[in-house]
């Protein structure tokens, strides 16, 4: 990275040193954070472009500042590519990230105190789906559905019964820690039955949807939100897709309702990422993400680890460490010492506290982008099992880290 940051190196050696160290960390470790990925150099260049300098309050053709000829072009291009990629009627590409996108949907479609029904955070949902510590749980009458205690998967009949009882104004589907395919059509049936707006949050799986390896909610949901990073492999930003009926309300909620000037550098980078996602190479990547996750899941089970739901259909694997007598936080710390980066995560019906839950969450998007395939997944499972078997032995963990660094040299980052 040094050759591209010469100005920074001269102007601020301290920040330059930090970024160089982070670059080395990302190269020398196996990054299994399910919400992380590597962007292309083209996306990085657009993110760091001179559009960082531009203020563009409003929408294309109706801005409140002059000098918008090129910002309008790049925003329209991002919208056109997103519509082609997902088949959406309307796209708003201005949300700063996924949580602000969800906030905008609440602001546009609901009044404070309205009832919402979303997947509970302990069962794989997201904070912004109505959890009590979030705005969505504080300002709205939020209810949560769980997963089946035996199968650890969504019981759609139980969700339907709960929706009939609650009669929410908005039903939310999508998850941040659910390793199985989501039946969006079934959620749409439930929403129609109780006359609820259906919001599908596909932040984690949008790249899989774009690549055709996960069903899309766009044809059946009223509103779809996503980040543009994670499996979609773009910049850190957000997006809302919706039917034409809700376009005006969504746009007004973003601006002037919740945001001022959009981050045009992020929008330009998203346009680049959407262009990449329209290529056959991206479809191959998306399929490999899913294939890698399944192989990694099988390999971890062969190493004696218990997986929530017994496996995965997407990019995500959730490991229950209860049979090992380990907490997720201690396991994540030990794995990082060994060069394998994961996050601790609650499992369904977890008896441990959220800061030190019973599970760890694993994702295969970043390692797939590096070119790792199925043989690499089996090697990663071996690294992880060795580390978890030696969680208190720093010498062994250090030795595994050396092995990991040597392994990573065969898979350069973009």
Indicate which residues carry an active-site annotation.
55, 57, 201, 227, 230, 236
What's the chain's Rg over C-alpha atoms?
22
**What is d(CA 265, CA 70) in angstroms, rounded to the nearest whole number?**
12
Work out the number of other CB atoms within 10 angstroms of the CB of residue 21. 10
Round to whole Å and give the CA distance between 357 and 360. Answer: 8
Task: State how far the Cα of 388 lies from the Cα of 392, in Å rounded to an integer.
Answer: 9
Pick from 197, 114, 182: which is nearest to 147 by CA? Answer: 182
CB of 180 closer than 8 Å to CB of 212: no
5 annotated as belonging to a binding site for a ligand: no
**Number of neighbours of residue 15 by Cβ within 10 angstroms:** 12
Known binding residue 126? Answer is yes
For residues 98 and 152, the answer to whether their CB atoms sit within 8 Å is no
The torsion defined by the Cα of 401, 406, 370 and 175, in degrees rounded to 10, comes to -20
245 annotated as belonging to a binding site for a ligand: yes
Whole-angstrom Cα distance, residue 135 to residue 396?
44
Q: How many other β-carbons are positioned within 10 Å of the β-carbon of residue 116?
A: 25
Residue positions forming the annotated binding site for (6S)-5,6,7,8-tetrahydrofolate: 121, 125-127, 245
**Residues of the binding site:** 121, 125-127, 245
């Amino acid at each position: 990275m040094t050759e591209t940051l010469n100005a920074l190196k001269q102007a601020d050696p301290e920040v330059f040193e930090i970024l160089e160290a982070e670059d080395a960390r990302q190269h020398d470790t196996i990054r299994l954070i399910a919400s992380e990925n590597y962007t292309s150099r083209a996306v990085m260049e657009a993110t760091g472009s001179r559009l960082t300098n531009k203020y563009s309050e409003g929408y294309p053709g109706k801005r409140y500042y002059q000098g918008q000829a090129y910002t309008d072009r790049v925003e329209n291009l991002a919208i056109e590519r997103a519509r082609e990629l997902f088949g959406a009627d309307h796209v708003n590409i201005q949300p700063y990230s996924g949580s602000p996108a969800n906030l905008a949907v609440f602001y546009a479609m609901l009044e404070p105190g309205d009832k919402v029904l979303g997947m509970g955070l302990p069962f794989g949902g997201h904070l912004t789906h109505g959890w009590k510590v979030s705005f969505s749980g504080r300002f709205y009458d939020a209810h949560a559905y769980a997963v089946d205690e035996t199968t650890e998967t969504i019981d759609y009949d139980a969700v339907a019964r709960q929706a009939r009882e609650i009669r929410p104004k908005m039903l939310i589907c999508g998850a941040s820690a659910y390793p199985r395919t989501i039946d969006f059509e079934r959620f749409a049936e439930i929403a129609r039955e109780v006359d609820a707006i259906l919001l599908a949050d596909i932040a984690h799986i949008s790249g899989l949807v774009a690549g055709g390896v996960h069903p899309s909610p766009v044809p059946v949901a009223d509103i779809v939100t996503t980040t543009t990073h994670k499996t979609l492999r773009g910049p850190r930003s957000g997006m809302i897709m919706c039917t034409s009926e809700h376009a005006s309300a969504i746009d007004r909620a973003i601006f002037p309702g919740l945001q001022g000037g959009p981050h045009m550098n992020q929008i330009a980078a998203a346009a680049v990422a959407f262009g990449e996602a329209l290529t056959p190479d991206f479809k191959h990547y998306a399929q490999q993400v899913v294939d890698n996750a399944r192989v990694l899941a099988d390999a971890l089970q062969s190493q004696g680890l218990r997986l929530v739901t017994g496996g995965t259909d997407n990019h995500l694997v959730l490991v229950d460490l209860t049979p090992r007598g380990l907490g997720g936080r201690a396991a994540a710390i030990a794995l990082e010492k060994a060069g394998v980066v994961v996050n601790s995560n609650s499992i369904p019906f977890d008896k441990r506290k959220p800061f030190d839950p019973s599970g760890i969450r694993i994702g295969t998007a970043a390692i797939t982008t590096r070119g790792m395939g199925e043989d690499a997944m089996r090697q990663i499972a071996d690294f992880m099992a060795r580390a978890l078997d030696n969680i208190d032995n720093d010498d062994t963990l250090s030795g595994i880290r050396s092995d990991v660094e040597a392994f990573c040299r065969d898979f350069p980052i973009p």
